[in-house]
Structure 1
Amino acid sequence: MLVKPKAKNARSKRFLVNREPKVVENAKTAIIVRGSSTSQVILDTLKDLYALRKPNAVNFTKKNEIHPFDDETGVEFFSRKNDCSLFAVGMHSKKRPHNLILGRTFNHQLLDMVELGVEKCVTMKATGAQSCAIGARPLMVFHGETFAQNETMIMLKNILLDFFRGEEADRVSLKGLEYAITVTAGPPGANGEPGLVFLRTYTVELKKSGVRQPRVELAPMGPALDLRIRRVRFPNDDMWKQAIRVPREIKETKVKNISRDGLGDKYGRVHVGKQDISKLQTRKVKALRQRLDNKPSKRQKTE
């Protein structure tokens, strides 16, 4: 473990303060680590993941002796040194060919991770499409019921959302939605195990439609990955509770008699006291006016 350094001047003090816990955290940074033995498929996959994560990513081009499932100290060391909470480790061996590990850390300690086998990789360079701008936020679409039923697939969905979400924003311009990522779950195996996971990336093209809303078309951008889940490490219950805890400062204060539905629409309930209907002012109609002298009307006289 690294010893917490002490600030020697104002600049280093600002740097250390920026790394301290905050109510509103900075954008999560990911480290892209190359293992001691890799294949060309893994190198292409890591390169494209780094391109999608820029500028909130650190790419390690040199080989590193790192095996997160066997020894987690290497990941925790890189996480603390680079102030990163996401990591992607690529390696290749005869037992686990084209191996990709995606995971997260909390307080620079390993939280959870999933090991994926890359069975197919079509890179950005192979598609020849124009890549997205640096720092763009993607649209994430998940297809398949297993993403809401299987625990492993739920965790994989959570990790992928955390990995590609980018910086938080209250509003996003329509022109800022430059690319979309679709994740499709294939049919499960014979033993009920998750099948292949198809990750595809598309550029969003806005074209004229003759109306105010443009016509949206998707063009393959890359990377296009066929992934198979191998090993999974679920988070510890105590650490998970700390990781998802929301600070009091950013919790929404509950306002009495105001609620929201699933779509975010606000509803308010108003309570009024008992009203005296006899004193209620209504529309004055000449036909219903009460005569003070109780004289018959002209219509009654003619009858």
Structure 2
Amino acid sequence: MSVLQRVVKPTTRKGKKVLIRREPQIIEGPKRALFFRGRKCTEKVRQLLKDFYNLKKPDAITLSKKNDITIFENVTPVETFCKKYETALFMMGSHSKKRPDNLVVGRMFNYSLLDMFELYLENFESLKDFDSSKVLLGVKPCLIFNGPKWEETEELKQLKSLFIDFFHREEVSSIRLQGLEHALSFTVTDDEKILLRSYKIHMKKSGCRTPRVELEEIGPRVDFTLRRSKLPSEDLMKEACKKPKELKVTKKKNISKDGLGTTHGRIHIGKQQIDKLQTRKMKGLKKSSEERKKEKVAVKRTLSESNVNNVKRIKSL
């Protein structure tokens, strides 16, 4: 049974601009995130939501009221919130006797749930617990995923993709060395714990062109344990990762790239006639009048011989 969706037509110019902005774009900007609390929430989880909100700003919205939502049983209220505030990502903090210090992170596709993960917050130190200078607002972080375990299971692969989407900002073609100020490190241990560490990058003098890099931990410091997850189907993930035709790279003939990214081109040219190449004109290389007369006589002789041969062929036919 198919449900017909109501097509909203704009009545004003401002409404038309709003609908155009909500349409899929060829080059998407940074995804916005929605932060909210569940029915109950401890101070530790509340402070973690605040720290993630500060890291995600200005592409973040936080709700102050508590919400009676059990997201794994009914995701409709969260989808309504994301559609209302036009956010593709969400993070919800909750606390219960069965699931204490709980954090749910997820993302939407076309304002419908794509995937989400439930994490248990074990150890936590806030941004304010570190007595150090913080990074500026809107700085693009450098994401580091340590260890091969991120590629071993489908859950960790999807969680890695979610973290990349969550902290991703604008697309850049080149990176300035002085622009690297913030680093986020994600590590999976042997006992399946996920360690999140945040560092500020300092460039020190090293006596050569490449500076000496020092890392200063600025918080938050979080230890997670994966509880539950809801993974997308293959068809839905394929549709969500589909690229528009304008962004697909068309293969060009005779152009290739090596392993280091250097572009190589192959050029096809015809046979060169060295006798007819234009060289520098000099008096010493200029032909005399006798040489020019000999060339004219030779050209006339070849023309007459060709005419005679043509006449013979015609007679033979």
TM tier, smaller:
0.7 to 0.9
Which residue of structure 1 aligns with residue 233 of structure 2? 236
- Structure number with larger C-alpha Rg: 2
What is the number of equivalent residue pairs in this alignment? 269
Q: Distance in 1 between matches of 2:45 and 2:260?
A: 40
Q: Pick closer, same or farther for the CA change 1:76–1:261 going to 2, 3 Å.
A: farther
1:247 aligns with 2:247: no
Which residue of structure 2 aligns with residue 65 of structure 1? 68
Return the offset for 1:6.
Answer: 4.6
Verify the 8 A CA contact 1:30 1:87 in the aligned structure 2: yes
TM alignment of 1:134-283, pairs within 5 A? 134-188=137-191, 195-270=192-267
Amino acid at match of 2:102: N
TM alignment of 1:14-93, pairs within 5 A? 14-93=17-96
Amino acid at match of 1:200: R
Return the offset for 1:275.
Answer: 9.5
Amino acid at match of 1:47: K
Which residue of structure 2 aligns with residue 281 of structure 1? none
Which residue of structure 1 aligns with residue 97 of structure 2? 94
Amino acid at match of 1:53: K
TM alignment of 1:99-114, pairs within 5 A? 99-114=102-117
Return the offset for 1:260.
Answer: 2.9
Return the offset for 1:74.
Answer: 1.3
Q: Distance in 1 between matches of 2:152 and 2:272?
A: 52
Equivalent position SS for 2:198: strand
TM-score (norm 1): 0.83
TM alignment of 1:282-297, pairs within 5 A? none
Verify the 8 A CA contact 1:53 1:166 in the aligned structure 2: no
Equivalent position SS for 1:170: coil
Q: Distance in 1 between matches of 2:239 and 2:23?
A: 16
Equivalent position SS for 2:10: coil
Amino acid at match of 1:249: E
TM-score (norm 2): 0.80
Return the offset for 1:44.
Answer: 1.1
Equivalent position SS for 1:113: strand
Equivalent position SS for 1:256: coil
Verify the 8 A CA contact 1:32 1:57 in the aligned structure 2: yes
Return the offset for 1:269.
Answer: 4.0
216-225 vs 233-242, which moves further:
233-242
Equivalent position SS for 2:20: helix
Structure 2 segments unaligned to the other structure (5+ residues): 274-317
Which residue of structure 2 aligns with residue 300 of structure 1? none
Verify the 8 A CA contact 1:101 1:113 in the aligned structure 2: yes
Verify the 8 A CA contact 1:30 1:88 in the aligned structure 2: yes
Identity of aligned residues (%): 41
TM alignment of 1:8-19, pairs within 5 A? 8-19=11-22
Amino acid at match of 2:97: K
Equivalent position SS for 1:153: helix
Structure 1 segments unaligned to the other structure (5+ residues): 189-194, 277-303
Which residue of structure 2 aligns with residue 121 of structure 1? 124
Which residue of structure 2 aligns with residue 294 of structure 1? none
More helix by share: 2
